[in-house]
Amino acid sequence: METVTSLLQKFDFLYHLHTLFLFTKADIRTALIPQTIFALAVAPVCHPSHVLHTVTWIWLHLLMCNVANQVKAPDEDKINKPFRPLPSGRIAEHHARTLRWILVPVCLACSAAYSTELLFTSIELQVLTVLYSELHCDEYFILKNFLTAAMYGCAGFGGALLAGCDRSHVHKTAQLAVQLSTTVFASTLHAQDFKDVSGDRLTGRCTLPILFPLGSRLSVALCIPMWSICLSHVWHLDLLSATVVIVYSGYTGIRFLLYQSVDDDKRSCKFYSVSGCIHFASLFLLTALAQALAQHTPHASCLLAYMHGDQQPLVPHIVLTVPSFI
């Protein structure tokens, strides 16, 4: 009898764990993975164990943001993402609202356990989430873009703090990378909104694709490769790397202009997200290589010094096409 009871309790636990996962499922590829790679790339990683801390912290705050957003407009998810816990009936709305506010002290406590700086980063995320969800700032495209980009910046900054050796400080190059990624994302965020136009119209949300269908597509087609050109110069990319990045970014941008069905927009959004993972992974590998060689060659030590922000930036592949957060 005890065995049966323990099995039922185990399955019940797994059921609730899966429910939490479903709150964040849509953003694993677009937010969790890119921001984790970004944090590991710009930190750089102090110890392999820090990777787990980074992933857990980012996912926990992603869960908090997603629950807050999803309890606000469950009807939207019936059209855009019916697999989520609320439209699929896995959790009652009042239970989801309770979970939303339980996650606030949980996130703050977890952050405070590491450092004061990480606690302040978590507080910033909490404030931005309230503005976005409870105060309905996401209904205005300018505020939506700014707030979402700021939340992604906080997630990347917090992840970088956890990945590094000093969890109360990140070097100047990492700070610059976070600032640039936030800026690029704020100007290209609406690339994700094309696939959600139907649900956004239902909830009365005013996004750029709804207000300016053609203009918003033109801006994406121009901004993504334009930012890649600018940042290739900032990070001193070699000619071959810069060419590959700019061509790929140009293709990603032009897709939004040439292919405009819902399925096409979903596919284009994947290109938009995956590109960030590729670039951040390149930096992560370069950083690891520089660390490995630093013990043997003075040139590698010099490169590592550049990466740590001790000199002017000479870091390729940090921010080229910024992945989506939501």
Q: Give the model confidence (pLDDT) of 152-163 as tens digits.
A: 999 999 999 999
Quote the pLDDT of residue 309.
47
Mean pLDDT on 261-278: 80
**pLDDT of 299:** 45
Mean of pLDDT over the chain:
82
The residue-averaged pLDDT of 54-65 equals: 98
Confidence tier at 77 by pLDDT (50, 70, 90): confident
Residue 139: which pLDDT band, with cuts at 50, 70 and 90? confident
Taking residues 207-215, what's their average pLDDT?
Answer: 90
Q: What pLDDT sits at residue 126?
A: 96
Q: Cα–Cα distances in Å, from 265 out to 18, 84, 233, 255?
A: 28, 20, 29, 8
What CA–CA distance (Å, rounded) separates 221 from 236?
Answer: 23
If one compares 283 and 311, the residue with the highest pLDDT of the two is 283
Q: What is the pTM of this model?
A: 0.81
% pLDDT > 70, the chain = 80
How many CB atoms are located within 10 Å of the residue 191 CB? 30
| 78 confidence band (pLDDT: 50, 70, 90) | confident
Contact predicate 66/155, CB 8 Å: no
Contacts 24+ apart (CB under 8 A), 126-132: 126/64, 128/154, 129/64, 129/65, 129/68, 129/69, 130/68, 132/65, 132/68, 132/69
Q: Where are the domains of the chain?
A: 17-307
Contact 180, 149 (CB under 8 A): no
H-state helical runs in 85-207? 85-88, 93-112, 116-129, 141-163, 172-188, 197-203
